[in-house]
Amino acid sequence: MDTQTITLIRGDGIGPEITEAVVEIFEAAHVPVQWEEAEAGLACAEKHGTPLPKETVEKISRNKIALKGPTTTPSGTGHKSVNVTIRKTLDLFANVRPAKSLPGVRSRYDNVDLLLVRENIEDTYAGVEHWQTPDVAQCLKVITRPGSLAVINYAFAIARAQGRKRVTCVHKANIHKITDGLFLECFREAAQHYPDLQSDDILIDNACMQLVIRPEQFDVMILPNLYGDIVSDLCAGLVGGLGVAPGGNIGDGCAVFEAVHGSAPDIAGQGIANPTAILLSAIQMLRHIGLNGHAGRIETALRYALVSGIKTRDMGGNATTREFTRAIISGIPSTIVSPNIEEKLEINPLPLPEARDSHSQGWHTVGVDLFVHENSLPHLPETVGKMTLAMISNRGTKVYPGSMPFIYLVNWYRARYLSETPLHEEDLQQFFNALPSSVEWTTIQRLNEDKEGNPMFSKAQGEE
Ligand code: NAI
């Protein structure tokens, strides 16, 4: 078997200690990989002036696979998270986190074996945030059809490849009818291509409760980014916490594997860090590249070490990182695995569909939402160009026309202007030109209907 080159980023804090454990274990297990080191993180930023040098991204792109130790992100100020930058730069659209009970690891359950697939690029993590007024901040939740289908197809494909039975979509489409509604629609569309797998969906709130009560009922879960971020940590908690939670960021071309936990500066350099999570990430990586036999041997050795009671402090033991690593190495089965085990799992997500444009879908513009900065109910013209004022809302609730609701009003109002007839670009331009200069607008949002006349926008609370 050819030796595969893998990019190794040791990272900050405990990163160098725990990645070294993986390097030693792989060497002892004769895993046919060689490492190409690359730098990233806080120490790298201090040395080279950037937390993620171009060469590091190039090395990951060239080798296609990387194992990454945790990197420190300064809070509030300083550089952006290296992880987020790597995910976005390399379009690693799926975050895959197995949560599997481990023997000898204290946790509430011993029968959890689920795979959580989280969308990794979009949602509120697209980072489209604006202050609208000094009192009002807004973050756009961006859910797209291609972005959703890419990760949902991947979830079905990996479920099939791993011989799993069921894929569950977790969402809040009863409230976020348009954004989560699109994610759910994509899920249902993709499910039709995988009739051999069961598919169902559950609201995020119920999913959290069910996970805490009966986690074994879930198999593969697919979630948009923000819910996935939260629920994946919940799942890590079900099997023993961050110290044992692995993950992989997967794209079409590249994949980067890393532990879920951070650089643990509080214990860095003390030689007591737990390498389990990064080792499990490395095992996940071996399975991703088809080295299943080696993955199995190392996993067996890890389980053996845990059962025999040799554990780091965070798991209730008193072993150092080195002692724990040596215990794993001494338990690596010598059995030569049969070559056919070393088969790459064929994960073949469906190709993405063609982009749909609004013209081909028969969309037409019927109005605009005009967001204005005003201390009290704004005096706006009833008619501007071809459009008339249909309603004004504050924090999503209608405040005009009709009686004022009992809500606290902030200095940011939305005025909905609608037209009886479809609008053209020049009508929108005319609307903009006809707006009194006294109106301090912050955003103008186009409102469309589809060819059946269904609104492609949500209604305000209290709006007919
Ligand atoms: P953290 O995960 O580093 O630490 C939280 C607690 O868990 C600490 O008490 C730590 O000692 C303990 N811990 C974490 N991993 C451990 C291990 N392998 N063995 C034993 N104990 C362990 O989270 P925190 O403190 O919020 O973040 C520290 C830094 O890490 C921050 O700069 C943060 O931005 C960064 N971070 C990086 C990540 C990555 O590179 N993937 C992920 C999460 C945070």
Per-residue model confidence (pLDDT) at position 339 = 43
194 shares its domain with 226: yes
228 shares its domain with 127: yes
Nearest Cα residue to 243 out of 155, 179, 312: 312
- Model confidence pLDDT, tens digit, residues 415-450: 999 999 999 999 999 999 999 999 999 999 999 999
Taking CA atoms only, the protein residue closest to ligand 1 atom 24 is 262
What H or E segment, with its residue span, contains residue 16?
A: helix 15-28
Assess if residue 349 is contained within a domain: no
The average pLDDT across 31-56 equals 95
The response to whether residue 70 sits with its C-beta less than 6 Å from ligand 1 reads yes
Assess if residue 413 is contained within a domain: yes
Mean pLDDT, the chain, as a whole number? Answer: 93
316 shares its domain with 381: no
234 shares its domain with 119: yes
More confident residue, 227 or 350: 227
115 shares its domain with 229: yes
335 shares its domain with 399: no
Per-residue model confidence (pLDDT) at position 76 = 67
Per-residue model confidence (pLDDT) at position 101 = 94
Q: Percent of the chain at pLDDT above 90?
A: 84
Rounded Cα gap, residues 119 and 179, in angstroms: 13
Residue 61 near residue 254, CB atoms below 8 Å: yes
The average pLDDT across 204-212 equals 98
Nearest Cα residue to 363 out of 422, 416, 421: 422
Predicted TM-score of the model (pTM): 0.92
The average pLDDT across 285-292 equals 93
Q: Could you tell me the two tokens for 249?
A: 């960021």
Assess if residue 100 is contained within a domain: no
Contacts of residue 107, defined as CB under 8 A and 6 or more positions apart, other chains included, come to 101, 237, 238, 239, 240, 241
Amino acid at 11: G
Contacts of residue 238, defined as CB under 8 A and 6 or more positions apart, other chains included, come to 99, 107, 108, 109, 112, 211, 212, 215
The average pLDDT across 283-305 equals 94
Taking 90 as the threshold, does the pLDDT of residue 79 lie above it? Answer: no
Taking 60 as the threshold, does the pLDDT of residue 44 lie above it? Answer: yes
Cα–ligand 1 centroid distance for 267 (angstroms): 10
The average pLDDT across 220-245 equals 95
Taking CA atoms only, the protein residue closest to ligand 1 atom 36 is 262
Please, what is the angle between helix 204-213 and helix 225-238, to 10°? 10
Cα–ligand 1 centroid distance for 274 (angstroms): 11
More confident residue, 111 or 345: 111
Assess if residue 458 is contained within a domain: no
Rounded Cα gap, residues 39 and 59, in angstroms: 10
254 shares its domain with 233: no
The response to whether residue 79 sits with its C-beta less than 6 Å from ligand 1 reads no
Per-residue model confidence (pLDDT) at position 127 = 86
The average pLDDT across 344-359 equals 76
Q: Which domain holds residue 231?
A: 108-238
The pLDDT confidence band at residue 367, using thresholds 50, 70 and 90, is very high
375 shares its domain with 419: yes
Taking 70 as the threshold, does the pLDDT of residue 343 lie above it? Answer: no
Contacts of residue 450, defined as CB under 8 A and 6 or more positions apart, other chains included, come to 361, 362, 363, 456
Residue that finishes a domain, picked among 324, 340, 356:
340
Residue that finishes a domain, picked among 212, 238, 264:
238
Cα–ligand 1 centroid distance for 53 (angstroms): 22
Please, what is the angle between helix 82-89 and helix 54-63, to 10°? 50
More confident residue, 334 or 336: 334
25 shares its domain with 85: yes
Please provide residue 294's backbone torsions phi and psi, each rounded to the nearest 5 degrees.
Answer: -65, -40
The pLDDT confidence band at residue 170, using thresholds 50, 70 and 90, is very high
Taking 50 as the threshold, does the pLDDT of residue 340 lie above it? Answer: no
Cβ neighbour number for residue 50 with a 10 Å cutoff: 14
Taking 60 as the threshold, does the pLDDT of residue 342 lie above it? Answer: no
268 shares its domain with 229: no
DSSP string across 123-184: BGGG--EEEEETTEEEE--B--HHHHHHHHHHHHHHHHHTT--EEEEEE-TTTSTTHHHHHH
The response to whether residue 22 sits with its C-beta less than 6 Å from ligand 1 reads no
Cα–ligand 1 centroid distance for 146 (angstroms): 33
Taking 50 as the threshold, does the pLDDT of residue 1 lie above it? Answer: yes
Rounded Cα gap, residues 381 and 372, in angstroms: 13
Assess if residue 44 is contained within a domain: yes
Assess if residue 459 is contained within a domain: no
Assess if residue 460 is contained within a domain: no
49 shares its domain with 169: no
The average pLDDT across 399-408 equals 89
Q: Count up the domains in the chain and report the number.
A: 3
253 shares its domain with 298: yes
Residue 239 near residue 102, CB atoms below 8 Å: yes
Q: Could you tell me the two tokens for 201?
A: 């969906």
The average pLDDT across 375-401 equals 95
CATH of the domain at 3: 3.40.718.10
Assess if residue 98 is contained within a domain: no
Per-residue model confidence (pLDDT) at position 345 = 60
Residue that finishes a domain, picked among 208, 238, 268:
238
Taking CA atoms only, the protein residue closest to ligand 1 atom 34 is 73
Contacts of residue 336, defined as CB under 8 A and 6 or more positions apart, other chains included, come to none
Taking 60 as the threshold, does the pLDDT of residue 40 lie above it? Answer: yes
CATH of the domain at 406: 3.30.70.1570
Burial of 126 (0-12, 13-18, 19+ CB in 10 A): middle
